[in-house]
Structure 1
Amino acid sequence: MAEVTAEARIAAPAARVWQQLIDFASYGQWNATHTSFPKGGPDPLAVDAVYLENMKLMGFPAEVTWTVAGLETERLLATTGTGPMGVNLAMRYALTPDGDETTVRIEGSFTGAAVTLMAGKLKDSATGALNESLRKLAGLVE
């Protein structure tokens, strides 16, 4: 298993950060691993909604089937996914409002036989991508 975490304090209210986070049409503007949603994002955005995402991890393309596992407006978006080579993924975006600022914490995990072989490199690559994503997200909403 590889687990990754990144956190940033963004100078924008949670409502603005949330709107950017769930604007699936603009994911490519801030999400460093995202390449496309072949059939669009989850519509409607609700627990158990399923959608496909094309991503690039460690320089390799991957198609992930995501399911929304948890949803709390302006607070939490949690997803679980299945990718190539039997890899299972989980992503959790948690927003903690503090007046006109918001702390955004992203937690991810990757499991499966293929992950065991490259867990260290995957963790380093994914952590870098999460931190880059948070910087870009902040740039869009601040």
Structure 2
Amino acid sequence: MRTVEVSATCSASPEKVWEVMADPFRWAEWLTIHKSWKSAVPAQLSPGDSATAAARVMNMPVAIDWTFDRVEAPNVIEMSGLTRAGVNLKLVIGIADMGAASKVDLSVNVDGGMIDGPMGGVFQGSLTGALNTSLRNVEALVA
């Protein structure tokens, strides 16, 4: 299993950050690996909702069947996913109030497929870069 965790401070309230990060129709604006939704997705996320996303990781297209396990506005979204290749994922978005700003954490656990082989380290590095870019995108959208 590989785990990637990144954090950043955004110059906006948790509520404003939540408006961007919890709106699945805006994910392509900030989450660099997300390209589109391949299935219907609710406008407002709730635990138990599911949707299939088209993503691109290391320039490879990937379909991910996501289930939204925990949604607590404006602080937490936890999702579990499965790819067609049998790779299991867990994505956690955390938003913490820091007064005039917010701390945003992204954590991804990936298990199975090529992740467990020699390409795992390359994949981990690529995902770290993508998630750091995603946090910069969030900051640009809420600034």
Structure 1 residue 65 corresponds to structure 2 residue 65: yes
Do 1:9 and 1:102's aligned partners in 2 also have CA atoms closer than 8 Å?
yes
Distance (Å, rounded) in 1 between the aligned partners of 2:103 and 2:110 = 23
**Corresponding letter in the other structure for 1:23:** D
**Corresponding letter in the other structure for 1:136:** N
Number of residue equivalences: 142
Question: Which residue does the alignment assign to 2:75?
Answer: 75
Deviation readout 1:45-78 (Å, 9 max, x if unpaired)? 1111111100001110000000011111111000
Question: Which residue does the alignment assign to 2:139?
Answer: 138
Distance (Å, rounded) in 1 between the aligned partners of 2:15 and 2:59 = 33
Question: Between the two proteins, what is the percent identity of the paired residues?
Answer: 27
The verdict on how the C-alpha distance between 1:22 and 1:56 changes in structure 2, with shifts beyond 3 A counting, is same
**Corresponding letter in the other structure for 2:128:** T
Map 1:1-142; keep pairs closer than 5 Å: 1-117=1-117, 118-142=119-143
Q: Which moved more, 1:109-118 or 1:91-100?
A: 109-118
TM-score between the two structures when normalised by the length of structure 2: 0.95
Deviation readout 1:92-128 (Å, 9 max, x if unpaired)? 0001111220000000010014311121011101100
**Corresponding letter in the other structure for 1:47:** P
Do 2:79 and 2:92's aligned partners in 1 also have CA atoms closer than 8 Å?
yes
Distance (Å, rounded) in 1 between the aligned partners of 2:76 and 2:115 = 26
TM-score between the two structures when normalised by the length of structure 1: 0.95
**Cα distance, 1:44 vs structure 2:** 4.5
Structure 1 gaps, min length 5: none
**Corresponding letter in the other structure for 1:133:** S
Structure 2 gaps, min length 5: none
